[in-house]
Amino acid sequence: MSASLDSVLDPMEEIRYRKKHGRMWIEIQKDTHFSFDELEHVMVIFFKIQKRDEKPAASDLISRAHFRDVLHTGLGMTDAYMMERVMVALDRGTSPYVTMSTFAKAMSLYLRGTLEERIIYAFTCYDLLGEGYLRRETMYQLMKKSLAKASRDDDVEEAVKELVDIMLKRMDMDLDGVINFQDFQTAVTKTPPLLELLGYCLPERPAVYAFLSTWCPDWAKM
């Protein structure tokens, strides 16, 4: 992660920051898997990110660009195409900023999210048109983007078509030609490795452990 996040905050500056936002964090904590002390630690990371902005928009915002940098360098989420989908899934708005609440919920999801939370999030990432279901064409587009990095162009077309056919047979529980959320949820609950078959939208466990050991070394092992 950027060296600027390694800097130690001035003790008084950090105390003022904690006092200023403490009440807000009490409400935010309810939507995370963090204790209040852990959330404070996460919010100090948020503050360090914010300090990279020469002219921050507000005390409870960071730029999307800096947030993406944290996900890229801190959690190993390097797929540029999927990162666009990730930002939509985390924050439906079009603002160039990320709020404290969105940051905290994202860190909770990535570091301690339940399978059910990850299923909802992943489906939202893949539902490109916001229709509530995945069409064959959507699945083809997502999988082609994913496989294109590892295969020659002339190998991709047939491989993607075959994989999409397999996924539809495996996940289309009601045989209506699309994968709705219930189909996706049922299939992934039975076979968790299916969760990211359409693209990597979550950090891998080694990246999570590395992040925790670097930025949250005092937390209990997960």
pLDDT in tens, 150-199: 555 667 788 889 999 999 999 998 899 999 999 999 999 999 999 999 99
pTM for the predicted model, two decimal places: 0.87
Q: Which CATH number fits domain 3-113: 3.30.420, 2.60.40, 3.30.160, 1.10.238?
A: 1.10.238
Q: Report whether 108 contacts 34 (CB < 8 A).
A: yes
pLDDT in tens, 43-87: 999 998 888 876 666 778 999 999 999 999 999 999 888 998 998
> Which residues of the chain are in CATH 1.10.238.10 domains?
116-196
CATH class for the region spanning 116-196: mainly alpha
Backbone Cα Rg of the chain: 19
